[in-house]
Amino acid sequence: MRSFYSHLEAIQSVGESLVINQKPTFRSSAIFPVLHNKYTSSKIIFMGYWLLKRHIKEIGLLYTLRSKEGKILSRKYKLIDSAKAFSIHLGEFTNEMNESGTIDNFEGSLELEIFSTQDLVFPYPAFVLVYYGDTYSTAVHTVGRIYNDIEDLSINEEYKVRESGFDIYGNTNLSPFVAFTNGPIKNATPKISYEIVNASGKTLKGEFVMKPIQAFETVFIRLKEYIKLNEILGNDEVGTIRIGHNLEGFFPRFAVGNFDDSTKTISITHTFYDSSELKDDKSFWNRKDEQFNDSSIAIPLYIKNSFYTRIAIYPIFSPSDFNLSFSFYDEKGVLVKHLPNHHEIKSSDNKYEQIDFKSIVLAENINIDAVSSVNLICNWKDKTRIPTRVKFGLNIGEEGKEVLLPSNICFAPQLGNPNMLKKKAAFRWAPFVNIGNSEVVLTNSASLKEYNTEANVSVTFHREADDAIITKSYVIPANAVEVISVMKDEELRLFFDEKSGWMAANSDNPFLYGYYFDFNESGAVAADHIF
């Protein structure tokens, strides 16, 4: 893991001093563990955002399908000279999977490499992995990648930390997993250490050794095959896990989640750094400005009828204590109710927590039909101990449905950075998965204590069929949300024609953010934050 300050320099964040010898990025890549069987298939969706964001005229895409064992089954090249929507389906490789004898139960990897003659800045591209079946969809953005070179590897190993930040269940029908594709270095004795944490702060530690892993081999670790989860998580309990490893040669951001063995569905997300043991100066934020809260972020609320919205708080931040306050807003950005210092989080408690917003709304006698979003405001008692990395999980689901697993978006509150006031605009983009009922929720919220700036947003919509676009404009008041729903917008529904689509948003306000969702009748929810 590289420090947060190094990350800001590398991505040329506003107001940050750039490293004098900063190396440009001409290769950007991602590698995904993929599945194709009777119940599930996989696809990668993306848009040609480089043409809009970086004004690059064209880029090259090389994508490679490998077997579970790491053997190359197919390699294809595509020129990207349009901002349109793209998708790469596993069904495209039917012949290759047939020849390998694994089409009925394929596990492998799909690597996508972007090449450019201009600086791409980010070595990880904005791709989305979608697992889907007849009754569900689930999605996550780019996870692992193969390093560009030794320098790339060295920079990203500034710290050696565990991976964590996702939900695991003890339910007998659910099977938590960790998935990754190894890099070019064989591992003769892959070792995994773990620490499971439940809601009462109880922990279960251990380690196991797996069989040797070949170069570019794809691995799905079903945790119940190695760990007796029922010793710490009961049938209805949720917890999280910290994962240590001796894997080398690739960026170890794992695809993780839970298989539902009864409904043959999956819920997927990604891991994040476990910073709970990092205590040096670079692990804490050194910016102080009384205009700002220490950090905050707005999330949409799905709490009407049978829906629920919860956040999971993972004990993976550098040692410190903070308070969570909640400001509830209606769809126009009008404050409905503020609950100061509602929840205290102590790192010494070392426990997994969930906060249910429907319960809070009902307990506080807030009109459930009036609230559309809540701003999560984090403030630390010790202003010298504000961690640079805090991660929550956004769990949105529906009670009483066949599929019980909610989304588990890995998201972070935004640090109160005065440099953001120097930024005059924002460019954001997001997919419409369009397997179930797809929508994108745009938020206009800042870490400022007093915030009243509207966002004027111009959005172009892109489809897979061709270069045609639809353009729409939105004015989003401060602390309001804008929901763009394919189901409710007949023009968009016909435009996308049951295929994936994308939106690209230009805003005159730097605090534009958001999330995307794909709601299925079964209760499955595919979701992630926007790019």
Distance in angstroms (rounded) separating the CA atoms of residues 151 and 379: 37
Distance in angstroms (rounded) separating the CA atoms of residues 278 and 281: 9
The encoded tokens of residue 113 equal 């490499």
Q: What are phi and psi of 300, to 5 degrees?
A: -75, 155
Strands 174-181 and 218-222: antiparallel
329: three-class secondary structure by DSSP: strand
Which residues in the chain show pLDDT less than 50?
Answer: 3, 7, 9-11
DSSP code string of 373-439: EEEEEEEESSTT-EES---EEEEEEETTSS------EEE-PEE--GGGGG---EEEEEEE--SSEEE
Distance in angstroms (rounded) separating the CA atoms of residues 455 and 165: 31
Q: What are phi and psi of 341, to 5 degrees?
A: 45, 50
User: What confidence score (pLDDT) does residue 235 get?
Assistant: 83
User: What confidence score (pLDDT) does residue 281 get?
Assistant: 85
User: What confidence score (pLDDT) does residue 19 get?
Assistant: 57
Helices and strands in the chain: count of H runs, count of E runs: 6, 39
Q: How many CB atoms lie within 10 A of CB 457?
A: 21
Domain 162-274 adopts which CATH fold?
Hypothetical Protein Tm1070; Chain: A (2.60.290)
Distance in angstroms (rounded) separating the CA atoms of residues 128 and 434: 13
Give the 3-state secondary structure of 254-307: CEEEEEECCCCEEEEEECEEECCCCCCHHHEECCCCCCECCEEEEEECCCCCCE
Q: Which residues 6+ apart lie within 8 Å of 340 measured at CB?
A: 325
93: three-class secondary structure by DSSP: helix
User: Which residues on adjacent β-strands are paired with residue 245?
Assistant: 192
Closest alpha carbon to 374 in 338, 343, 409, 406: 338
User: What confidence score (pLDDT) does residue 27 get?
Assistant: 95
Largest CA distance in the chain: 64
The b/e string for 138-162 (b: 16+ C-beta within 10 A; e otherwise) is: bbbbbbbbbbbeeebbeebeeeebb
CB-CB contact of 62 with 160 (8 Å):
no
DSSP code string of 10-53: HTT-TTPPPPTTPPP--EEEEEEEEEEESS-EEEEEEE-THHHH
Structure confidence by residue, pLDDT tens digits, 48-84: 999 999 999 999 999 999 999 999 999 999 999 999 9
133: three-class secondary structure by DSSP: coil
User: What confidence score (pLDDT) does residue 1 get?
Assistant: 53
